[in-house]
Amino acid sequence: MKRKVVSQGPSSMMVSLPIKWVKEFGIKKGDEVDISEVGQELLISSNKRKTGNKIIINLESDNPLYVYRHLQAVYVNGYDEVEFKYSSTKIANILQEYTTGSFIGFELISQDNESCIIKSLSTEKEEEFEIILKRVFQGILQMDELFYNFLRKKNNSIDLILNLEKINNRQTMYLQRIISKGKVGGEFLYAMSIFLEKLANEYKFIIHNNAHNEKVGKKILKYYSRLHNQMENIYDVFTNYDSKAVAKIVLEDIRVEEFRVLFKENYYLTYAFMKITDLLRSLLFQIVKLEFVKK
């Protein structure tokens, strides 16, 4: 999007705001916006929330994943009300099941054989964002510790890990919904929420592929202990940013040649751990970028 710069007196320049953005946030003459300088970029943000919006969607398939993805897209993009139209009552049942268990604040308020209306009955509070983001982070740490203990002792923690993954899904989508409604620094926070969701998914994938029951040697356990420490250090940087701590995390990162050795011991787990390590790197990068936005 490009805007022409117009001279406004001897000491200031002016650009127009996109009308779509203005309408979404209900900005009027005399309102104030925040302007942050980020390198060569200017970040313009509003302390207002997006105004409520509605959408109508035709669902053409009763495939559960197809239905879920449409409901998820409506939710994370900040819509407050959606009317789904369909030709199969099976779709209505799928929508009811997912609405009840997966989306914080969404409720099915009316339904017939051809359509249903799902509406947000709660107001997302931006002050809740940091609290929930920390809970998501802490949930990942708990999943990781439970999984490490399972690899060591083969205890009965698998069901708890899977339950924590479901909680992670609900919470990360709620974070994405708040961001879509105008959270400052949203680009980096949205990416963080995606990486935290993907981290939780990796533990689920390991369990669903039954890789957790394979033989685990000492090298894998030693590596996993380092991985958990790295995760804790990244959380510490997130809660209390320290550039020296960031440098230490980078220097202690797992090297490619170390993975080559681990592949010989357990191929699938090593591959999964490589993906977790890569997600942690991406997460750390977003934390660093977010720190610059704050400045």
pLDDT in tens, 122-148: 887 778 899 999 999 999 999 999 998
**pLDDT at residue 260 in the model:** 83
Number of structural domains the chain divides into: 3
The neighbouring-strand residues paired with 106 are 120
Helix (H, G, I), strand (E, B) or coil at 136: helix
Q: At what angle do helices 243-251 and 267-294 cross, to 10 degrees?
A: 160
Boundaries of domain holding 264: 126-294
Give yes or no for a contact between 89 and 113, defined as CB atoms under 8 angstroms apart: yes
CA distance 212 to 252: 26
Burial class of residue 67 in the structure, from the number of CB atoms within 10 Å of its CB (0-12 exposed, 13-18 middle, 19+ buried): buried
Examine the pLDDT at 192 and tell me if it is beyond 60: yes
The answer as to whether 29 is a domain residue is yes
Examine the pLDDT at 8 and tell me if it is beyond 80: no
Examine the pLDDT at 256 and tell me if it is beyond 80: no
The answer as to whether 186 is a domain residue is yes
- CA–CA distances in Å: residue 227 to residues 28, 78, 180, 181, 278: 50, 35, 32, 34, 11
The answer as to whether 191 is a domain residue is yes
**pLDDT at residue 11 in the model:** 65
Residues 130 and 244 in one domain: yes
Is the whole-model pTM more than 0.85? no
The answer as to whether 24 is a domain residue is yes
CA 267 from chain centre, in angstroms, equals 28
The answer as to whether 1 is a domain residue is no
CA distance 234 to 68: 32
**pLDDT at residue 294 in the model:** 66
The answer as to whether 252 is a domain residue is yes
The residue among 222, 218, 208, 194 whose CA lies nearest residue 268 is 208
pLDDT (tens digit per residue) in 213-240: 667 788 888 888 999 999 999 999 999 9
Structural domain ending residue among the three candidates 120, 147, 163: 120
**pLDDT at residue 76 in the model:** 93
Residues 190 and 212 in one domain: yes
Examine the pLDDT at 289 and tell me if it is beyond 70: yes
Structure token pair of residue 143: 């999943």
Residues 104 and 135 in one domain: no
Residues 12 and 154 in one domain: no
Residues 74 and 163 in one domain: no
CATH of the domain at 285: 1.20.58.220
Per-position b or e across 37-60, b if 16+ CB within 10 A of its CB: eeeeeeeeebebbbeeeeeebebe
